A and B are shown apart, each in its own frame.
Chain A
Amino acid sequence: MSHKGDKKEYAVVVRNLSFRYSNQDANVLESVNLDIKRGEKVAIVGPNGAGKTTLLLNINGILRGYEGYIEIFGRRIDGRRSRKEIVRDVGMVFQDPDDQLFMPTVFDDVAFGPLNLGLSEDEVRTRVKEALRMLHIEDYEDKNPHRLSFGERKKIALATVLAMKPRILLLDEPTANLDPRSRSELISILKWLNESNDFTMIIATHDVNAIPDIADRVFVLNRRIIAEGTPREIFSDAELMEKTNLEVPDVMKLFELLRCFGFNCDELPLSIDDAVEALTKIIETSDGRHIHLHIHEHTHHGVERLRERWKYEHHL
């Protein structure tokens, strides 16, 4: 299945992956297929219990007893033999930082991974410094994780993984449970990581608003892969959104509403950045250098339809 070309090109290849927890009757994952190119940033979305975390754990080689085939940089992962390679290549940031941070101080926690890679003491120290600096948390070295806020712990959990310099970064709901400011900060960190590093990222998330900013491609998972495409392709598929209980980003909703008021754009912006670009382009190319909105008979009807589609009306 792996051709020579694949080895260079693909970071992660998953074929017909099925997985069942030993204490459950049904498969949590059912013939999942993924091809993720080197350097690609992909998001995995799906409802609670869809198996996102399970999929990430499988790619990280932690769960035993899967059926199918998983390949990291062209090498199949199977059993104990390649554990070391996986640890070197793949880093995972867990959903709950309290699961990840177990040492008495931040320094020890961030140093834990690099030490396990067998790096020299000096190298470990510089890596810890670097990782903490990247996230602007240099002062936290001697702190006890318990005394830090959830957002701070989340950043430290990310630092513990970045210090290992993985080539593939798995993030399990990086923006969940953060206050709005910490969330924005984390998204900008991820964007920055995206631009300044050539690693591959797989992000499991419910945060549809963040997806256009941090991912080039989206997989919709619900036990099996239901759909796959660019954020635009996925969010434009109204039927898919309805079927999988997914929502489109707020910016996209807003512009769809504006359409009912006569705003004319062929491509709905997905993110704030997109919106700025789209507005600039439209205003600059219009005659009077302004945009024009109006209310016609069809406006109310259109708005009603959208509100219904987005479930803003509750009917008994």
Chain B
Amino acid sequence: MVNEMMRDVDKYTALNSYIHRFDPRAKIISFISLIFSVVFLSDIRTTALCLAVSLVLLIISKIPLRFTLRKLMFPSVFIIFIFIALSLTVPGEALFRFYIITVTYEGLYEGVLIVLRAFSALILAFLLVSTTRFDDIIKALNSLRFPKPLTQILMLSYRYAFVFSDEIERMLTAMQARGFRMEAKMHSLKAIGKALGMLFVRCSERSERVYEAMLSRGYSSEIKTLSNFNMRAVDYVLCMLFLLFAVFLHW
């Protein structure tokens, strides 16, 4: 599953668009501040404006629409679920009734607001990770003085999420090859429990060996990287514009 969602988020990082060429550091600052700005908005129209801007950015980025839809499907379902829940549960002036279900004006307003906010933030975050190579994100975070332990964790998780999900897959295949079926039976559950335990042991042994391998290449509490970032005038200008826009939304 992790594999499915993560395997190709960076499939289109090699495209060439204004968003792709945007310096990773400036891009991170711009997008993150915009995301922060939008999640605190409480006016529907400004939020809609922000969503429109995100969509325009998405078009500029040249990321294929189908790819975007596929990647955003899972979180979208989640957002829509929240929308339904909100519009049905927030008390207030009833808009219409349907047996025991009451849709209120306040509920609908809250719901729409949440949907707009969530989609804007989601699209912006998606744009950030799908137009920037993962190693550039890490290096940018490093050069922005992001806390080192956090960037290290991100870096290692990125690599080993793949390794571990492969390991899980292999284990499941091996179990199925010997007639295991996923069923709600005591026998099945026990097998899964044991497999999970085994997986935990394997992971912790692996982490020990990874650490040893890092030590043997001179690791001491810091992962050093080289980057060739190069802020151009246009990056500064773009970044300023993003920041101004983020503040302007709250005016």
Contact = CB atoms under 8 A, between A and B. Distances in A.
A113 interface: yes
A112 B213 contact: no
Interface string B156-186: 1011101100000000000000000000000
Pick the most buried of A92, A104, A107: most chain B CB atoms within 10 A of its CB.
A104
Interface stretch (B44-52, B219-227, B237-245): B219-227
A276 to B, nearest CB: 38
Contacts of A92: 213, 216
A98 B160 CA distance: 9
A189 B163 CA distance: 27
Given A112-B224, A116-B224, A99 B217 contact: no
Contact of A113 (B210, B212, B217, B226): B217
Interface string B33-45: 0000000000000
Contacts of B162: 146
B244 to A, nearest CB: 33
A102 B210 contact: yes
Given A108-B225, A146-B162, A146-B163, A100 B213 contact: yes
A101 B209 CA distance: 11
B213 A105 contact: no
B21 interface: no
A104 B226 contact: no
A125 interface: yes
Contact of A164 (B209, B213, B217, B220): B217
A160 interface: yes
Given A99-B209, A99-B210, A116 B218 contact: yes
Nearest to B156: A102
Contacts of A104: 133-135, 138, 155, 158-159
Interface string A82-125: 00100100111010101111111101100111011100010011
Given A94-B209, A112-B223, A115-B225, A102 B218 contact: no
Given A112-B223, A116-B224, A99 B134 contact: no
B194 interface: no
A98 B216 CA distance: 15
A108 B135 contact: yes
Contacts of B160: 102
Nearest to A121: B226
Given A102-B155, A104-B159, A116 B217 contact: yes
Interface of A: 57, 60, 62, 84, 87, 90-92, 94, 96, 98-105, 107-108, 111-113, 115-117, 121, 124-125, 142, 144-146, 160-161, 164
28 contacts: A60-B216, A62-B212, A62-B215, A91-B216, A92-B213, A94-B213, A98-B163, A99-B206, A99-B213, A100-B210, A101-B159, A102-B160, A103-B159, A104-B133, A104-B135, A104-B138, A104-B155, A104-B159, A108-B226, A115-B225, A117-B218, A144-B10, A144-B134, A145-B159, A146-B159, A146-B162, A160-B217, A164-B217
Given A99-B209, A103-B225, A116-B224, 14 more contacts: A62-B212, A62-B215, A84-B218, A87-B217, A87-B218, A94-B209, A94-B213, A100-B210, A104-B135, A104-B155, A107-B226, A108-B226, A115-B225, A115-B226
| Shortest 5 CB-CB contacts between residues of A and residues of B | A116-B218, A115-B224, A87-B218, A113-B217, A104-B135
